[in-house]
Structure 1
Amino acid sequence: MDEPTRQETEAPELVETLAASRAAFVRFVRPRVESDAAAEEIVQSAFLKGFERGGSLRDDESATAWFYRILRNAIVDHWRRRDAKGRALETLAAELPASFEDAQLDDRNRACGCVRALTTGLKPEYRELLEKVDVDGVSVPDAAGQLGITANNAAVRLYRARQALKKRVEDTCRSCASHGCVDCTCAH
């Protein structure tokens, strides 16, 4: 039978020594991180790392001093990860619209620029109703009231206006209409 290695004979002693000092390790980490939970997590991770690297303990070094070095490195790693996550979240937050309404506005502003230009070729009553309902978000009955027509008449007029605009888009921007492009590249 083979002779046990230094690491195998010292592993139980290392575990006992570190486990006995667990509360002190948590007290060491706690003021250096944002929460009790983070401190506990760091100590647990350091325990795993320490037990995996138990063989790296030098003869002239105490297990406790060696483990504090592991804890310091774990704290630094913790803050590096948090900073990286924070920077990533800040970048994402800067890219995202502030609200759902802003997102809708961005979508509306990104829509094919030629579509709005194409409404100028429509009948004025079609153009006016399309702008009120589809651009400004006014309800059909409210738009009808503003235009002095019945809600039924406004609904029919809106349907015809959308059909006329669809035809103009298809005729003018055939590639955009067939591919569903957001950024129109056609020359009209």
Structure 2
Amino acid sequence: MMIPDALLQHFDAFVGFARSRTGDPELAADLVQECLLKALRSGQAPADSEGVVTWFYRVLRHAIIDAHRRRMTQEKALPMLSLELPESVSPEDEKTLCQCVLKMLPLLPEADAELLRRIDLGGESPTELARATQQRVNTVNVRLLRARQKLRAQVEKVCRSCATHGCLDCDCG
């Protein structure tokens, strides 16, 4: 097939073109490969080998522009997201936490309750806890997951409204 051969003959030139516009060799190679796949699958390339190269440069140029747009969107969104997500629970949010959850902790096995108190309520990281208790981090994370599942089951059993709709403004007694 003549068209793929014409594109593959110019592969290095395409990568160089993309690299000069993105400044990132890996991104440039990825964009060229993605565009080659799209071009080969589309079946809409010009019939002559010179026309297909020109056409492919146009396809590649559009892909580079789209990559720049995605990067700009990410660069704008990430700082905004970090501003929206607090480092820790604020005192106002803490007041709206479901108080029945705190009452259910003693109903769990002591090791699970202690794990939830230290990590979820106390803010200790699983890594810190693993180091302090001489456990592997994966072990602590698995235990934490299981403890949360047990607490969730307890909440569902006792307080169906909170389990379904969340614990905001809980009126459970």
The change in CA–CA distance for 1:71 and 1:37 in structure 2 (over 3 A counts) is same
In structure 2, what is the equivalent of residue 112 of structure 1? 95
In structure 1, what is the equivalent of residue 157 of structure 2? none
TM-superposed CA distance for 1:64, in Å, is 1.0
- For CA contacts below 8 A with separation 6 or more, give which structure has more relative contact order: 2
In structure 2, what is the equivalent of residue 81 of structure 1? 70
Matches of residues 59-74 of structure 1 in structure 2 within 5 Å?
Answer: 62-74=51-63
Larger radius of gyration, structure 1 or 2? 1
How big is the alpha-carbon RMSD for the aligned residues of Structure 1 and Structure 2?
Answer: 3.2
| Kept after mapping to 1: 8 A contact 2:19/2:25 | yes
In structure 2, what is the equivalent of residue 131 of structure 1? none
Q: 2: distance between equivalents of 1:73 and 1:182?
A: 47
Q: How high is the TM-score relative to the length of structure 1?
A: 0.47
Q: Identity of counterpart residues, as a percentage?
A: 37
The change in CA–CA distance for 1:84 and 1:109 in structure 2 (over 3 A counts) is same
Please give the secondary structure, in 2, of the residue aligned with 1:55.
coil
In structure 2, what is the equivalent of residue 175 of structure 1? none
The change in CA–CA distance for 1:184 and 1:54 in structure 2 (over 3 A counts) is closer
Matches of residues 1-188 of structure 1 in structure 2 within 5 Å?
Answer: 12-57=1-46, 62-97=51-86, 99=87, 103-104=88-89, 106=90, 108-112=91-95, 181-183=167-169
Q: 2: distance between equivalents of 1:183 and 1:91?
A: 27
| Kept after mapping to 1: 8 A contact 2:6/2:49 | no
TM-superposed CA distance for 1:15, in Å, is 0.7
TM-superposed CA distance for 1:65, in Å, is 0.7
Q: How high is the TM-score relative to the length of structure 2?
A: 0.51
Return 5+ residue gaps in structure 2 as ranges. Answer: 97-121, 123-160
Give the paired residue count. Answer: 107
Q: 2: distance between equivalents of 1:31 and 1:57?
A: 26
